[in-house]
Each structure stands twice: as structure tokens, then as C-alpha cells.
A and B are shown apart, each in its own frame.
Chain A
Amino acid sequence: MTALASPPEQQPAGSLQLLRRRYRSRPHRNRPGGEAIGKAERAALVFAAVLVILLVAVPPFLPYSPADMIDVPLTPPSWAHPFGTDDLGRDLLSRVVYGMRTSLASSILVVASGIVVGGLIGLVAGMAGGWVDAVLMRLTDLFLALPGPLLVLAIVAALGASLTHTLIGVAVVWWPWYARVVRGQVRATVGMAYVETARLVGLGRVRVALHHVLPSAFGPLIVTASLDLGNVILLLASLSFLGLGTPDPAAELGEMTARGLTYLLTNWWVAVMPAAAVLLLTFIANFAGDGVRDLMERR
């Protein structure tokens, strides 16, 4: 996806289905000692928070700009350049930090677009019921049956390589699971007495939908989104690796890795550092996603 990848956390659309199933089938996992979440998950949540703060706050204070050629090309890691320099003599640490920032921000953007588009479709389908529901959900199923990552490749190839186009491409195929999650919750909530009461009191359809029904879907939405983030980071990195992101000199982890391949056997750090940064991001996202799920289930 992705191009890309693999297990539930690692994989795009497909794995989500499975995760949802797991989420539903074991809503109350009992942990010894009654802890809300495991140590690894708690550590990952803290680490994720620290990382986000660092990525937002630190870049302006880095000694080198990610685009400036400041030293001899292909300098090995040292105190002056902890990650070394790339083939143009740019500081790799600066580039990797900026790349991680771009990677995380664009992944959050994609997930957010999935929540908004999918949420809207799911809400309309769930509230309307009948043929509207049937048509919208068949459409959702159809999108789920198509190979999303492949279509993204074609969409970006058609529009031209850039991060913006990649984000548009991924957003186009990334909403169906969110539509399902929201629709399921909405259908379960819509028949409840308090929703019925809200209607009888004379509240408008939109108000009932937004204020009384939609909030019930927030929990599952947050869980789905946090488990999904690692997939999106991987997919975007792979697309950038294949040359579909913003071209150099923009600092993107996938593109930096692909560029470093040329020097892999002589100057390993050029490719390994950005690739390891992607690994770090998805690793934390996956563990933190598990943590968020456990926390929500606990409530």
C-alpha cells in the first residue's frame, strides 16, 4: 500500500476491516491487575506526544536548513552531523526531521479527510435508511473491493507527481472504512429512545443527526483513525519512494530513501536514516493506536 506493506497495523484498507472485527469481538480485554492499558502502549502514547511536540517545536532551532548545502557531500555521521550529509552536502538530520514532520502532518490530513468524507456518507446513509442507505453502502462496498493503493498510483500519475496530488489521490480511496464505521453506529443509535424523544420534541433532522446521533460514533471513529495512521504513513512513504511525492529539494522520507539507494553500498546512511525514520514513525503510531483502542474500550 503499500505499496506497501503488511499486518493489520501495517496495511491499508484491508487490515482495518480485520482490526474492526477484533475491536468488536473483544470489547473488554481483561488485563492482569486491572490496568487500563499495557506498559508498551502507555509508553508509546507518551512517546507519541513527545514526538509530536518535538516535531512541531524543534525544526526552527535546528542548526542547518534542510535545503542548504553546508558541508562536503556524503560525510559520514559525526558530532557535527549526527546523521551525516547527503549527496549534495545537505545535513541529513535536518532533512529527516523535516521529512518526519511532513510525513506525520500529511498522514493526519489524509485520515482527517477520510473521517470527514466517510463520516458524512455514513451519517447520511445511516440517518436516511431505505434506498439511500442501500445505494451509499453498495457504493462503499464497491470502493472497498477495488485495489486502493493501485488506483492512487494511477491518480497521481494522471495529475502529476506532487505531495498535494498524492494527498488528493489517497483521500479519494481512503473514506470507505470510515463510512462503514459511522453508518453502523448511526444505525444502532437512531432507534434509541432519546433520539426518538429529540425528534418528538420537534428538533430538525440535521440537529438530531449532528447533536444526538453523531456523537455516538466518535469513539469507534477515534479508534479506527488511530489504528489507521500507521498504514497511511507507510502508504505515503512508499508513494514518495516511487517518485510520486514532491520532488527534491523538498524533504520527504520516501524520496530521500530512493535517492540514497544509489549510494547504498558506499554511503549507507543516506538511505538508511530516512527509512529508519519511517520505521520509527509507524512503530510509534501502531503502538499508540493500540493504546488508544485499549483506553477507549476501557471507558
Chain B
Amino acid sequence: MARFLAGRLVALIFILLALTLAVFVIDAAVPTDPVAANLGAGASQTLIRAARHALGYDQPIYIQYYRFLGRILHGDLGTSLRTHNSVAADLAQFAPATVELALASMILISGLALLLGLWSASGATGATAIRFVLVSLASAPTFFFAIVLVLVFYSWLGLLPASGRTTAGTATGFVMTHDLWRGDLVGWLDGLRHILLPAVVVALGPAVAIGRVLRGSLVDAMAQDHIKTARSKGISDSAVLLRHALRNALTPVLAMVGLQLGLVLTGVIVVETVFAWPGLGLYTSEALVNSDFPAVIGVTLVLGAVYVVINAAVDVLQVVADPRLRDRP
């Protein structure tokens, strides 16, 4: 196991390096000269050359990459062209809202996926009809869910708010966690009402995808001999399903969880834009609209690293769940 973990760790470092290299190449591909743009149109050639030298743009490309890497490792992601703050500080300010949204979505995803998977695998009435509904849900773009839910629950029924995190106004920081910590139930419920719609929209797609995989692997697991043995011993159907089949069905589900993550990250950007949720997604979409390139690069690096690290963790979890996978090529 130690050898396996060490191998995974080395692979993880390589993938993270590849991520920084990819972002560096994209950064270098920007058609405008960052130095000339920074100095303004009236700058003389001498001034531009001096600034290029001072900023290291006249160095060989590998030296530039080395410096780029050094800056990232020191947490320097540049300065946003829109907010004029350091990108790292901006990200730290907007991240908590996204983390809370992601947590709420994860809770919904686990619950919904388990429900969908168990229901459709149990062969209960209506299980075939579910497939049609699942494919329909799977086909819907995130923004379609978002606008339909806003129209129904906000505009039509008037049950839930359509934007922001609290009634009091835009808020950054861990609002709900903070309310819970202080025991402010009213504030927490207000936060819950605001987080419900965006979290459902983020969760629906991944929940359906994971639910479908869970159904497939449950059906396979239920066909195994040890399940027949368990049944013939007289264990009830639900106990067989939950205790014997579900555990063995989890490996492909974990793989799907890792695969869904990239989609969740990008889905969050769309959802936060629709619901004016003051997190990394809204920050990104505003950066995109305003051509705030340093901010886009910063978000890509940070969210990309999160994606890579979580995927590596899911990989390891798969092996924990099924040690036979360790010898997989």
C-alpha cells in the first residue's frame, strides 16, 4: 500500500506540474503584449525594453516558466485588472461562498444518487419509466434547470429567493457555517432558503449520472454468487441490497464521482452567474466578461489544482474500497 501511495503521489506532482505548464502556455499565448499594454500607448521603445527586462520577459522561455512556478508557489497570482486587488486575495474572499455551495450540493448529490440508484435497481414499479426521466434530466443544460426553477419557485410560487446568499444582502465568508456556530437558527434558515435552488441545480446532473452508474453496478453485484448465498440464508431483500450488494457496487460509483467533479466545477460557474451567488464562479464569469485575464488564470490554477487533487484522492479511495485494483496496470 505504501508503494502504491508513493506512486500516486509522484503522479499527482507530475499532473500538477502539467497543469501549471498548460496555464503558462495559455498565458504566453495572449496576443497582446502585457508590458506595452501596462505602460500605455505613449511609452517609448526604450521604456518598453527596460520594463521587459525588469519583468523578465526577455529571458529564455524555460527561465520564465521557472519564475512563473516560483510566483505560484509563493501564492502570487498577479493583480486583477477589474478589482485591482491581488488575485489571491480575491479568490480567498470569494471561495467560502463556493465551498458552502459545493458542500450543500454534495449532500444533495449523495442523497439523490443513492435514492435513484436503489430505486431503479430494486425493480420496483415505475423503474423503467425512471430511465426516461433520467436521460431527460441528464440532457438538460445547467442554465435550463436554473431558469425553470427560478420561474417556478420564485416567480410563480413565491417560495424561495432567486439570488444572493442572505436576505440582508451580498455576503462573503462562511455565512451558514458561521450562523450554525453561533446557534443563530433564523439566520441559518435564511441561508438555507437561499442555498436550496442553486445547490439543487448544481446537484441534479451529477446525481443522475452517479445514480445511473450505481444502478448498473448494483444490478451486476446482485447477480453474484455470494448474494444468492445470502438470500438462501433467508436474509431480507433490503438487507441483501444494502449490506451485501451496495458495498461491492461502490467502486464504479467512486470512479464516476471523480469524473463528475470537473463538471461540477464548471457547472458552478454557470449556476453562480444565474443566482448572483458571490463565489468563485461569479468572480470567474465577471472576469471573463471584462477580459480580466489574470483573474481567469488564477481561477484556472486554483480550481484546476482542486480538481486534480480530489481526483487523486478518489483514485486512492477506489483502491481502499477494492484492493484488487492496486495491481491494475
User: Do A243 and B289 have beta carbons less than 8 Å apart?
Assistant: yes
Tell me if B5 is interfacial: C-beta within 8 Å of chain A: no
Expressed in whole angstroms, the minimum distance between the Cβ of A8 and any Cβ of chain B is 6
Task: Determine the chain A residues whose CB is within 8 A of the CB of B134 once the complex forms.
Answer: 7
Contact present for B147 and A272 (CB under 8 Å): yes
B147 and A261 contact, CB distance less than 8 A? yes
A282 at the interface (CB under 8 A from B): yes
A262 to B204, CA, bound (A): 24
Known contacts A5-B141, A10-B205: A287-B135 contact under CB 8 Å: yes
Residues of A within 8 A of B263 (CB): 1-6, 10-12, 14, 149
Binary contact readout B238-281 vs A (1 if CB under 8 angstroms, 0 otherwise): 00000000000000100110111111011101100110000000
Question: Given the interface contacts A145-B308, A283-B136, does A6 sit within 8 Å of B208 by beta carbon?
Answer: yes
B150, A264: Cβ atoms closer than 8 Å? yes
Check: A241 CB closer than 8 A to any chain B CB.
yes
Residues of B within 8 A of A153 (CB): 266, 269, 284, 288, 296, 300
Contact of A9 with B135 at beta-carbon distance under 8 Å, contacts A146-B304, A153-B288, A279-B140 already known: yes
For A24-65 the 0/1 string (1 means CB < 8 A from B) is: 000000000000000010000000000000000000000000
A268 with B151, Cβ < 8 A, contacts A147-B265, A275-B143 known: yes
B window 17-38: CB within 8 A of A: 18-19, 22-23, 26-27, 29-31
**Chain A residues, Cβ within 8 Å of B135:** 7, 9, 283, 286-287, 290
Interface majority SS (helix, strand, loop, mixed), chain B: helix
Contacts from B to A (Cβ < 8 Å): 14-15, 18-19, 22-23, 26-27, 29-31, 132, 134-144, 147-148, 150-151, 154-155, 162, 204-210, 212-213, 216, 252, 255-256, 258-263, 265-267, 269-270, 273-274, 284-285, 287-289, 291, 293, 296-297, 299-300, 303-304, 307-308, 311
The chain A residues found within 8 Å of chain B, CB to CB, are: 1-15, 17-18, 21-22, 40, 142, 145-151, 153-155, 157-161, 230, 234, 237-238, 241-244, 254, 257-258, 261, 264-265, 268, 271-272, 275-276, 278-279, 282-283, 285-287, 290
A-B contact pairs, 18 of them (CB 8 A): A2-B263, A3-B270, A4-B205, A6-B267, A8-B213, A9-B138, A15-B209, A18-B252, A21-B252, A146-B304, A147-B308, A149-B262, A150-B265, A242-B273, A257-B144, A264-B151, A279-B140, A279-B141
